[in-house]
Amino acid sequence: MDDSDTGAILAEDLESSDSSKVCCCFRVPQNKRPPPCSCPFSVTVEPVMFLSTFSMALQMPLYTQYLWDRISEDVGYNNGTKGGGCNASTVHDPLQKEVDTLTAHWNLYINLGGFVVGLIMVTLLGSWSDRAGRRLVLIIPSLGLAVQATVYLIVMYLKLPVFWFLIGRLCSGLSGDFNAILAGCFAYVADTSARGSRTFRVAILEACLGLAGMFASIIGGQWRRAQGYINPFWLVLATNLAAALYAYLFVPETVTPDPEAKLLSTRHHRAVYRLYASDAPQGRRTKLWLYTLCFFLVVSVHFGCSDLYVLYELSAPLCWGPELIGYGSAAKHLAYLTSLMGLRVMQCCLEDSWVALVGLSSNIVGLIVFSVANTTALMFTGYGLCFLFMASTPVLRSKLSTLVDPAEQGALFASVACVEGLCSLVSSGVFNSLYPATLHFMKGFPFIFGAAILFIPAGIIGGLGCQEKKESRENREGSGIS
């Protein structure tokens, strides 16, 4: 029996059971070694997602602020965050613009370097997990992120040039980066959920992203204010090691590991190519490409705007300090939880496509408010209006997953993770370049640009939703069902 047969049998078993209640202690299929320990709670990969996201959400604002402080010190700008906050009268200060520009550009260089390497590795790791097992794709990237945190700590202790942040980022990229963890977690959920419950199961994973991000943002802002940058980064290192340890000890395997599976093989890329080249059943290829395009545009806007929130808040006219930046980041991540609750409620009366449209509408309105926010109250109003902005991505992941066979889930989520890496690459280049280029006429222009882009996936999802509804009605009429 090969891997595809095993995957199909596992999927059939799950379709006939209540797969909305998946326990990490579920019966391990034959030929699969159980984990060393048993988990007493009804969770599987959720703690891995939580811990990895916590470390990422804790380090990203602090890392951007550290770059800001170091560059401010290098260029002799005395109104940075170290000096107690900026002054609204410095909105046209050329030194502040230079700090904004250099920080955005270094963000771009570091992200480009890491994501280019990660883009290649995540495709290999995701598809490789179909044969080697899902647990390895959870453990290896977690260890890579731990190496990145170690390099960052060394840079801060020794005050090395900011170029060394790029070295740490490349180490993470070589292990698949955070996107490989996302690919492994979502593929795992696809292995262990029925189609009817998959959207909500995916939304639970994305809610873990928000919950971890909210806690990390609140802790990070207060901690940085009290003790600086170094101690929080020790926690980043510890949480990445904890994620790897949990995956090894408690996560059961859903794929029969093949001892002859090779990581460095063109087979993995061919599997992704066949996935998008095949049109069986008829019409699948078009939908797969269109939903992937929607996912690319939505996630690119999310990533691109997230890169700019801290920069936008640090400088005039908002002049936020670390505490307010932490609260703002927490408010942004709280939307993951409100999106989960909103999705659950909306699924009672709306189809998934219309749930996604509501989520996109929330995102568009919030970005428009961000673009003109010149006070703290208006900025938090924007965060409040984005309370459903994450309702669209679980729907898109679920629709992509239901378009392919159970034996193709690894290749699919490898490609989705590859798209996420490409999103980070493109959004970093576009938004981090657009921000300094438009400072002279409208500081919030990148948010307007992001809102305009979101109208494209809204139109595609609406069109495909109408088409799917029509096809469903025709099928019911053809079968004589009223």
Give the mean model confidence (pLDDT) for residues 428-451.
89
C-alpha of 423 from chain center: 10
Is 32 domain-assigned? no
CB 157 within 8 A of CB 230: yes
408 token code pair = 């193709």
Share of the chain above pLDDT 90, in %: 26
Q: Taking the CA atoms of 205, 210, 213 and 214 in sequence, report the sign of the dihedral they define.
A: negative
Asked if residues 248 and 139 have their Cβ atoms less than 8 Å apart, the reply is: yes
Q: What is the dihedral angle through the alpha carbons of 299, 452, 370, 64, rounded to the nearest 10 degrees?
A: 40
Q: Which residue has the tokens 């170094």?
A: 230
The better pLDDT of the pair 10, 421 is held by 421
Band (378; pLDDT cuts 50, 70, 90)? very high
C-alpha distances in Å from residue 344, one per residue of 121, 338, 350, 397: 34, 10, 10, 16
Mark residue 31 as left, alpha or beta (left: phi above 0; alpha: psi -120 to 50; beta: remaining): left
Domain assignment of residue 128, yes or no: yes
How far is the C-alpha of 255 from the C-alpha of 189, rounded, in Å? 12
Task: Kindly report the CATH number assigned to the domain that includes residue 234.
Answer: 1.20.1250.20
* CA–CA dist 426, 422 (Å, integer): 6
- What integer is the mean pLDDT of 231-257? 89
pLDDT at 37 (0 to 100): 66
Mean pLDDT along residues 473-477: 72
Contact between residue 191 and residue 134 where contact means Cβ atoms under 8 Å apart:
yes
Domain annotation covers residue 183: yes
In a domain, 16, yes or no: no
What's the domain count of the chain?
1
Q: 66 — phi, psi (to 5°)? A: -65, -45
Q: Are 250 and 38 in contact (CB under 8 A)?
A: yes
Quick one: pLDDT band at residue 15, thresholds 50, 70, 90?
very low
Banded pLDDT at 229 (limits 50, 70, 90): confident
What are 60-107's pLDDT values in tens digits?
878 888 888 888 887 777 754 444 445 555 455 677 778 878 887 888
Q: How many CB atoms lie within 10 A of CB 35?
A: 19
**Per-residue confidence band for 33, with pLDDT thresholds at 50, 70 and 90:** low
Residue 344: count of CB within 10 angstroms of its CB: 15
Q: Using 50, 70 and 90 to split pLDDT, how confident is the model at 5?
A: very low
User: CB-side exposure of 40: number of CA atoms within 13 Å?
Assistant: 0
SS3 state at 120: helix
* HSE-CB for 447 with a 13 A CA cutoff: 24
Residue-level pLDDT at 30: 47
Which structural domain range is residue 376 located in?
Answer: 42-78+94-251+283-476
Listed in sequence order, the residues at least 6 apart from 456 whose beta carbon sits closer than 8 Å to its beta carbon are 294, 297
> Residue 23 above 70 pLDDT?
no
| Structural domain includes residue 26 | no
Among 301, 348, 327, which Cα is nearest to 450's? Answer: 301
- Structure confidence at residue 450 (pLDDT): 95
**Residue keyed to tokens 């000890």:** 249
**Range of lowest pLDDT (104-113, 138-147, 391-400):** 104-113
Is residue 137 classed exposed, middle or buried when 0-12, 13-18 and 19+ CB atoms within 10 A define those classes?
Answer: buried
Q: What is the pTM of this model?
A: 0.74
Is 1 a member of any domain? no
The answer to whether residue 356 scores a pLDDT higher than 90 is yes
Q: Is a pLDDT exceeding 60 seen at residue 26? A: no
Contact in structure between 364 and 457 (CB atoms under 8 Å): no
Predicted confidence band of residue 426 (pLDDT cuts 50, 70, 90): confident
Of 251-265, 367-381, 383-397, 440-454, where does mean pLDDT reach its minimum? 251-265
Contact 414, 125 (CB under 8 A): yes
CA torsion, ordered 374, 322, 50, 150, to nearest 10 deg = 130
Rounded Cα–Cα distance for residues 216 and 326 (Å): 8
Cis peptide bond upstream of 281, omega within 30: yes
Q: Which of 54-68, 276-290, 451-465 has the highest mean pLDDT?
A: 451-465
User: 398 with 352: CB under 8 angstroms?
Assistant: yes
Domain membership flag for residue 278: no
Cα–Cα distances in angstroms (integers) from residue 42 to residues 27, 39, 281, 419, in the given order: 13, 8, 36, 30
Tell me: the pLDDT tens digits for 105-138? 888 788 778 878 887 888 788 778 777 788 888 9
pLDDT for residue 478: 66
Residue 84 forms part of a structural domain: no
Examine the pLDDT at 481 and tell me if it is beyond 80.
no
Distances (CA, A) of 222 to 217, 325, 333, 440: 9, 10, 17, 32
For residue 33, which amino acid is it? R
Q: Which helix (H) or strand (E) holds 364?
A: helix 352-372
Q: How far is CA 314 from the centre of its chain?
A: 23
Report how far residue 165's alpha carbon sits from residue 167's, in angstroms, rounded to the nearest whole number.
5
**What is the reported pLDDT for 480?**
56
Q: Specify the 3-state DSSP secondary structure of 317.
A: coil
H/E run at residue 222: helix 195-227
